Structure 1
Amino acid sequence: MLDLLTLRLKYPMIYTVYGFAIFFFVFWCGIWIVHLIALFYGKYRLHRKVKPLSTDEPYPGVSILKPLMGTDPHLVSNLETFFTMTYPMYEILFCVEDEKDPAVDVVNALIAKYPKTPSRVFLGGSTVGVNPKINNINKAYEASSYDLILISDSGIRMKEDTLLDMVTHLTETTGIVHQMPFTSDRNGFAAILEKVYFGTAQSRMYLGADFLGVNCHTGMSTLMRKPVLEERGGLKMFGCYLAEDFFIAKAFLDKGWKTAISSQPALQNSGICDVNSFQARLTRWAKLRVAMLPIVIFFEPLSECMVIGACAAWAASLLFRWEPLVFYLIHVLVWFLCDWMLLSIVQNGSLPFKRFDFIIGWLFRECSGPYLFLLALCHPEIKWRNRVFKLTWGGIAQEVKPRIKC
């Protein structure tokens, strides 16, 4: 015992190095547990057959809030899927901040085409905070007719039974049901890159977090109970955050409500699909995560395949005298195979591209991920459409040179 104490005092750096090695190896093992959870939970949870609600109770009404700004080649087809859903009782409330926005004509044409679907257009928005999305939809939220609110981004595409699927997952103890982000099938390398990211790295963390009960709420397609929001003062109370979805879910969890993902992933189908725009989204999301949870500055890079693989290879060579290069190559290969299986589960069918395309997209995503995170740390200001924001710790946002002044 005395010899160990003497060694520790004499060689403190040795204990520090071994401590880091043990930490990296344990963290690496934990990441593989998340891989297994995502694979098995994804197989169990996703793409389950939708069961109709009990005939003894009427279907609850749903108010769908659709924030819009501008048009793209897919906007008409995306919005039309909301008019053709088989759910028996819902209304669509379109929200457009500028009355001269070309999206207004698109919406009016669809309303005329589907007169039997209750729908309205809200123009002008309201200034209740710095969050443009909350400002845009707050009027419609306050005028909504039903106790269930579905906030759905303009680029989301629905299946006929998607809303029914979400409502069936809204149990007595569940306050929020949200769709796991994914993408529609599209052509081009950017579309491959998006599908690879959302079907692997994003799905792995999303499924793992939902299984463990961790707040992973993404607000691109989310169904929630309006009375619970009203207890907090309504949707406008979250206008001070850019990541309003995270803080809305936190408010529900603090009240004892559960959140859950539906079995159908959200099908993003924006007409804007290029690598630069996609990487800008990833960088913006990273900035939001850092501001909300500063601990991710250290832990998020370690969740990347190439980074944790290198750290674990060094740790294994130090702790077990394993060959680091062989360890690293096996790590990357097994990670790659797990991602292929997870993407196939999320896709629920054959992929719309060849395996070689997946290899190129996967390598590009995995190698660029750490760089984008570093870029987010170096440039913390957030650009969102034509506005610029800065965040304080805790996620509260301030607009730089506000476009709308109170």
Structure 2
Amino acid sequence: MIYTLYGFAIFFFIFWCAMWLLHIIAIFYGKYRLHRKVPSLPSDEPYPGVSILKPLMGVDPHLVSNLESLFTMTYPVFEILFCIEDEKDPAIDVVNALIEKYPKVHTNIFIGGSTVGVNPKINNMNKAYEATSYDLILISDSGIRMREDTLQDMVEHLTEKTGIVHQMPFTSDRNGFAATLEKVYFGTAQSRMYLAADCLRVNCHTGMSTLMRKAVLEEQGGLKTFGCYLAEDFFIAKSFIDRGWKTAISSQPALQNSGFCDVNSFQARLTRWAKLRVAMLPTVILFEPLSECMVIGGCAAWAASLLFHWEPLVFYLVHILAWFLCDWILLSTVQNGPLPFKRFDFIIGWLFRECSGPYLFLLAVVHPEIRWRNRIFRLTWGGIAQEVKPRIKC
């Protein structure tokens, strides 16, 4: 029995050390990789054309400004293909108004989608994908706000051996506790794993803003091939990697700028992502809870008291303080400027996120079915999705 306890103690302490290594990698790699100007293409080499797929559903208070940021990009050659499933969707009027305002931008609207799998996003985009004109495809979610040079930054990271360039998820500056909570999560817990994974060449791809080579997709049957997955972004990246292509993050994080921002919907989003991770990588059930500050801190404090006879409470409090300071440094690195909230707001948001994280993961394991808008999906091991009570179209 005593050997078993010592075995667990050694495991927890080594895992704790590994987490601190990830902290260090994320901070230094973030300073090296993010907000760093890359060399432009030679003046005699034209920039390749890019087809932008923009799936839309409904209108939120920031939709107009988010979509307009696409029209005002300084990239020389691109087209915007809007994908709208419902012909009565009010987003159509928003798009038409912007097309009228910016007549020189090449745009098109695809209404109705096509059923090629269970993934609503793939179904919505497939018609537009098949009509794309250029060899590079950018998938950009409706809530993403682009800077004038974002697309240029992404293309300049696309080397001969790179098949996918994606933006690390982050958020725009917004007001309110929910916005603070989102920025804290994406600038700390999410960024830590994302940056460390990219540095170590581990698949961390998220599809909210991603540039990819169409020819590689076509080799696999096109976008519709991934319609059987809800986490299509992970499996698209995996298929590229399996074929010898590299993936990379661009220097600019993705600025999520949804007009609807509340704590409950954000936590539901985190829970849905956890369910996807569990289905795709079952080992997540063991290791993800241990990556949480409060959980691994408690385990490491017990391990240190058993192995080295250190005071566990002091160890635990120092651990939390050090983790907090590292997260502040990382968030400041990702933000690359003054934070839009006070330090006290950061403390409250950080504590709320760290304390609620293990509970949300447990909730994801206990209730594995995924609710996406008005649909419910069940995942099998390996990430393949099945819709529960599919909608019937007349």
**What TM-score range do you get, normalising by the shorter chain?**
over 0.9
SS in 2 for 1:248: helix
Matched, 1:297 2:276: no
SS in 2 for 1:53: coil
- TM norm structure 2: 0.99
Where does residue 48 of structure 2 map in the other structure? 60
Matched, 1:319 2:298: no
Q: CA deviation at 1:265?
A: 0.1
Opposite residue 263 of structure 2, the aligned amino acid is V
Matched, 1:31 2:19: yes
Q: Is the 8 A contact 1:50 1:164 kept in 2?
A: no
Where does residue 364 of structure 1 map in the other structure? 352
Q: CA deviation at 1:405?
A: 5.7
Opposite residue 62 of structure 1, the aligned amino acid is V
Matched, 1:241 2:229: yes
Where does residue 201 of structure 1 map in the other structure? 189
- Cα separation, 1, equivalents of 2:83 and 2:38: 30
- Cα separation, 2, equivalents of 1:216 and 1:250: 10
- Cα separation, 2, equivalents of 1:50 and 1:119: 29
SS in 1 for 2:211: strand
Matched, 1:380 2:345: no
Q: Is the 8 A contact 2:38 2:157 kept in 1?
A: no
- Cα separation, 2, equivalents of 1:254 and 1:123: 34
Q: Is the 8 A contact 2:59 2:91 kept in 1?
A: yes
- Between Structure 1 and Structure 2, how many residues are aligned? 394
Where does residue 88 of structure 1 map in the other structure? 76
Unaligned ranges ≥5, structure 2: none
Q: Is the 8 A contact 1:65 1:141 kept in 2?
A: yes
Structure 2 counterparts to residues 170-185 of structure 1, below 5 A: 170-185=158-173
Matched, 1:222 2:192: no
Q: CA deviation at 1:264?
A: 0.1
Opposite residue 138 of structure 1, the aligned amino acid is N
- TM norm structure 1: 0.96
Matched, 1:115 2:103: yes
Where does residue 267 of structure 2 map in the other structure? 279
- Cα separation, 2, equivalents of 1:111 and 1:89: 16
Where does residue 4 of structure 1 map in the other structure? none
Matched, 1:155 2:143: yes
- Cα separation, 1, equivalents of 2:286 and 2:32: 32
- Cα separation, 2, equivalents of 1:296 and 1:404: 35
Question: Pairwise CA RMSD of aligned residues?
Answer: 0.8
SS in 1 for 2:179: helix
Q: 2:176 aligns with which of 188, 192, 197?
A: 188
SS in 2 for 1:67: strand
Deviations 1:288-331 (A, max 9, x none): 00000000000000000000000000000000000000000000
Q: CA deviation at 1:57?
A: 1.3
Opposite residue 323 of structure 1, the aligned amino acid is E
Q: CA deviation at 1:51?
A: 3.4
Deviations 1:202-239 (A, max 9, x none): 00000000000000000000000000000000000000
After superposing on structure 2, the runs of 4+ consecutive aligned residues of structure 1 that deviate more than 3 Å are none
- Cα separation, 2, equivalents of 1:323 and 1:169: 48
Opposite residue 190 of structure 1, the aligned amino acid is A
Opposite residue 63 of structure 1, the aligned amino acid is S
Q: Is the 8 A contact 1:156 1:270 kept in 2?
A: yes
Q: Is the 8 A contact 1:50 1:161 kept in 2?
A: no
- Cα separation, 2, equivalents of 1:305 and 1:66: 36
Change (3 A) 1:227 1:404: farther
Where does residue 390 of structure 1 map in the other structure? 378
Opposite residue 267 of structure 1, the aligned amino acid is L
- Cα separation, 2, equivalents of 1:69 and 1:39: 36
Structure 2 counterparts to residues 95-134 of structure 1, below 5 A: 95-134=83-122
Opposite residue 160 of structure 2, the aligned amino acid is E
Identity level (%) = 85
Q: 1:329 aligns with which of 313, 317, 320?
A: 317
Q: CA deviation at 1:404?
A: 4.2
- Cα separation, 1, equivalents of 2:293 and 2:200: 21
Unaligned ranges ≥5, structure 1: 1-12
Deviations 1:87-117 (A, max 9, x none): 0000000000001100000001000100000
Where does residue 76 of structure 1 map in the other structure? 64
Larger Rg computed on CA atoms: 1
SS in 1 for 2:183: helix
- Cα separation, 2, equivalents of 1:272 and 1:294: 32
- Cα separation, 1, equivalents of 2:41 and 2:61: 36
Opposite residue 377 of structure 1, the aligned amino acid is V
- Cα separation, 2, equivalents of 1:116 and 1:325: 64
Opposite residue 161 of structure 1, the aligned amino acid is D
Q: CA deviation at 1:58?
A: 1.0
